[in-house]
Every structure is written in structure tokens, then in C-alpha cells.
Structure 1
């Protein structure tokens, strides 16, 4: 499978999830079965068993094999996407009227043909071989149109406000206590946002990343390091928790319980 560069990984994962949704919907239709059809031997990648998952009546594992097949199709297809789409984010999309016009939603099969003019035929062959597409009914462009529509929609959706992510926190992200009030901590402090972007420490879209902390841990973090140190060296909870001082604090404060607890 194609190797995805680090800077493209985020959009690739979104693309793979969108593709998976489309494939699941397709194979769950009454007349669809995820089984490899017999086809003439060719010299394309699709005919090489080593390069793609194999389905048959005796070894078929629906979840595992579909995951392998999705990985294969996603990685092979993603490399043919326009370069801008591989790394595009909300901030770049929202500031560029040309991009918004080029990727006006919903995308159609004709749009896909224009966006992916050199798509490797072996990808279409693979989908046809496994009964996903049929040129006379629904070709690869029609399959990929809702996938790319979902991708662009996900990319162009503004990130949630920090306060809206509180429900995802199961407790303080440092000490783990889940029965006390939490507040959000900007992992890149707001006082250095402009400097962080100007000096290339962080991308603009990362400035609103937050961690949900209890009051004690929140105050500890700001005693532990100043704003610039937090922005440059401790901009994730994982980085904070690599420090022995933070680990010792978390262990100690995590054992504190109010009366009645």
C-alpha cells in the first residue's frame, strides 16, 4: 500500500473513514455481498493477490477483511487526490474563495473525473472485482463522489468551541479525578498565540486545543512552566505527563478526596 506522509495523515484518516462509510453502505444493501468475483488474469495491480485482501467463502472475516480492503483502496486512491486536498484544513479553506468554488458541495461523478483524471485503473478494477462497482450501473466516480463530498465537508467544518468538548472529558486529564469541576486549559496559552504562529511553533488551527483540568491541576500547570515554555514544549497532556514533577503531582493530588468521598 502507498505510504502516506505525516503532514497528510490527518486528511487521509478522514478520507479513509468516509470511504469506509460508503463501502459499508454499499455492501449492506440486500443484493450486495463482499466477495471476490472470478475475473480474467491481467497485468494490473488488481490481479496481484499480494497487493490486496482476498475474500472467499471459507476464509471471509467481514470486519477484518473489510478493514484491510478499505485500507488498500483508501491508500491507493488518496495519492491521486489533488495535492491541496491532502493537507487542506478549515482555515485554509475558509480564506480561499477559489477553493470554495472548486470544491462546491455536493461533488458529482463529473467533478471526481475532473479532480482525479489519472486515477489508476487497478483501483476501479479492484472495486469491480469485489462487486462494489459496476460500470453499467455505478462506476468508481459515482462511488467516490459522496466520499469526497464527506471529506470536504469534514475539512470545511469549523472546529468546535473549547467549551463544547467538555462532555468528552471523563475527568481531569492530569490527576484523573472525575467528581470535581473542570475548566479548560489552553494547551498553547492565549497570551502567546500570535508569537506561536509567527515563529512557526504551531499552526493557527492548533491554537484552540485544550485540556480539561481540575482547578488544582490547572494552577499547577501554570506554576510548572510559563506561557512560552508551555507553548513550545508542553502543548499536549502527553508532553506534560512525561515530566517526573508532573507525574508526582498527579499521583499526589489524585489521592485527595473531600469528606464523604
Structure 2
């Protein structure tokens, strides 16, 4: 179960968690592809000798793992802080969006249906506190001396993704929902359904006999970060033809590296 954020009202917790996931996806994507830091030089210029070479390797690996865990914890805290700042600044109607409210309130659909109009986007960006903008810049997610246009470019897809998720009807595959992401196996994080055979390829799949029709609607339940990552590893046709099960995806080396990295991220109770 995801930790409850005491700064967010109980009735908004579910939407907050969805918003946090929508925000974390571009943050993780940008930071995960950032250039690696050069190896640190050891003091003294010489490496200390250990009685056993294997011990030196093991100690080095443990130090690297501990450093990776610390980085992941810091990043998790940053995303949680940033999501809280941004979500709490949004107007109350958008914080409480739901499928029922969206369908029964024409004004909500007119104002918040994606793609957001420039007027609506400007109004939402204007609510964001300067502290959040400064944090985005300090992590390299915004360029130095960024303006509202840079902020809008970064957050527009986040807001539209959140609105789409918060107002989506219950899927027909809801009975198959798992209580964990089927890629990274995190149990405390919201999941979305991923068509293992992308819908845009269904006609070609049947025409070329890649799969039977019964398999077309197979889905996996993935956290938003893993969902987006899967769609980046291969084009839709390749996913449909060669990577159409969770087992096949998890067997890929790039997916295993991603799982090892993203699996360290944890949101802390606030």
C-alpha cells in the first residue's frame, strides 16, 4: 500500500497518487538518461591492498550499491515533495476529478479536456509556487533562468496525463488488476493497464497471422514509469510481434537494468 501523505486530504489521496505517478514518469526518464558521473578518484593516489582480492571487489560493490540506494531514496523524496507542492497548488475541481464528475459536469469537460487550451494551461501554471520551479531547475529538469514557457512544456503532458487517468472509465479488464506492477513488482504504487499487443497493430497482427484474435486484448498492469519505459524499448509493431508477454519483456536485458534502477525508488510517509 502506498504511504499516505498527511498533507493531502483523505478524499484526494487516490488522485494525488495518480498525479505523483504522472509526474514521476518524465522525472525518472530525464534523470535515468542523464550522463553518468565520472568515477571518483581515491585519496592518496594508491589503492589499499586487501588480504583477499575477492573482499576488495565485494566491498567495492557494496559501497556502489549503498550509494545507488541513497541516490534512489533522495530522488524518491524529491518526487514526493514536488508532487505534493504541485498537486496542492492545483484548483480544487481538478484535484477531485473523477469519471462520474467529468461526465456529469459539462463545465469540467469544457475546461479540462485534453489537450488543454492555452488559457487553461496558463491558469494552471500560474498556480505553481516558485519553490517548485526552483526545485525543478536545481535537479536539471528545467534550464537555468527558465520561464513559464519552459515550465509549461514540462508540466503540460503531466497535467494531461493526470486528467486522462483520473477521468478514465473503469476498464473492462479491471477484473485482472494486480496489486503490484508486473514489471518492477512494486506493490504500493498505482498501476495502469498496458495492451501487450498495442491496439494500433491489431489489424496487421491478424492479417499477418502473428497471433490469434483471442490474444489481442491481453493486458498487463504496470506502474506509469514502467508503462512508459516499455513503449520506449521497441516500436509498437515489434512489441506486438516479439514482446507480447510480461515474461518476454522481463527477459530483456534493458528491462532488467531498468527494473533494478526503478525498483529502488520509494515514497516516504509524510
Q: Give TM-score, length-normalised by structure 1.
A: 0.49
Using CA pairs under 8 Å that are at least 6 residues apart, name the structure with larger relative contact order, 1 or 2: 2
Of the two, which has the highest radius of gyration? Answer: 1
